[in-house]
Amino acid sequence: MAEEFPTATFVSIDFKPLRPFDPHPRITFEVYDLYAGIAEPDASFDVVNARNCVTATKNFNFLLREMHRVLKPGGVLVLTEIPTQGFEWDDTSKILQSAPRRAHGIRLFRSALESQAIDLTVWEDLASRLKPTHPLWSERTVDPVVGIVETPSTSTTDLRGFRTVRERIRLIPTGPWHKDEVQRHIGSLARYIFTHTWQALLPLMIMMGIPEAEAQSTVDGILEEFADDELRGYMKSHRWSGQKI
């Protein structure tokens, strides 16, 4: 993004970096706990671009209000999420069942997230949460234990939220089976990422109380299904955008 927008400056916030940051003169890299909010002044950003934040916090509504707070009036919010859910390749309105071990693994993972008080319903109704009519905009979070004491809005108007809210959904094939060359390439990358993700989730499954042998068998079965090009499926990438009121 810094290369595409040579006059812009950026603040990159991560709560769990997976690789070292490459220094850049126009990017400030920060790592901290999102539960305490975004450590930036009010109305200081033209754009907030956030990815895969739903599973990073137990209080997504608070984080959404924080994104709203640091945006300038008329600023643009872009949110991208890949929900933990699979879909059938021949009818993407149906939850994945044709790859049974993968479907079982997804159910286990969603249960693990919910047991940690992660609000998975965000993926279903985020468009409505962005609109000023949603009750979250009149709520406050006060939790001194984790350092959150959300102050009332200093806005000159009582109307908070976003206008011109849009949602775009793109399908991600979970393997290189698609007839389109570009989609095959995307599917190949997706399969690589998803297989490594499931391997990394093995310790979490054991922490959930699943016996190690059962957890290993589940992951092995999922990897076998990913290697079988006949077991097709999709994930969905959702992108929401809106302008701060």
Domain boundaries, the chain: 32-244
Instruction: Classify residue 123 as exposed, middle or buried by CB count within 10 Å of its CB (0-12, 13-18, 19+).
Output: middle
pLDDT classification of 2: cutoffs 50, 70, 90 = confident
Give the pLDDT of residue 21. 81
Q: What is the pTM of this model?
A: 0.89
Residue 62 has pLDDT above 70, yes or no: yes
Q: How much is the mean pLDDT over the chain?
A: 91
Q: Which amino acid belongs to residue 105? A: G
pLDDT classification of 144: cutoffs 50, 70, 90 = low
pLDDT classification of 151: cutoffs 50, 70, 90 = low
User: Rounded to an integer, what distance in angstroms lies between the CA atom of residue 87 and that of residue 93?
Assistant: 7
Cβ density class 50-87: b for 16+ within 10 Å, e for less: beebbbbbebbbbbbbbbbbbbeeebbbebbbbbbbbb
Contact of 216 with 198, CB cutoff 8 Å? no
The predicted-structure confidence for 183-224, as pLDDT tens digits, reads as follows 999 999 999 999 999 999 899 888 878 889 989 999 999 999
Strands 27-31 and 10-14: parallel
Please name the residue that has the structure tokens 């709520």. 139
Residue 192 has what DSSP assignment?
A: H
User: Rounded to an integer, what distance in angstroms lies between the CA atom of residue 64 and that of residue 122?
Assistant: 11
Tell how far CA 21 is from the center of its chain.
Answer: 20
User: Rounded to an integer, what distance in angstroms lies between the CA atom of residue 240 and that of residue 80?
Assistant: 7
The least confident of 23-27, 96-100, 157-161, 177-181 is: 157-161
The predicted-structure confidence for 89-133, as pLDDT tens digits, reads as follows 999 999 999 999 999 999 988 988 998 899 999 999 999 999 999
User: Rounded to an integer, what distance in angstroms lies between the CA atom of residue 218 and that of residue 202?
Assistant: 9
Q: What phi and psi values does residue 200 have, to the nearest 5 degrees? A: -70, -20
Count Cα neighbours of 19 within 13 Å in the Cβ-side half-sphere.
3
Among 1.10.3470, 3.40.50, 2.40.128, 3.10.450, name the CATH number for the domain at 32-244: 3.40.50
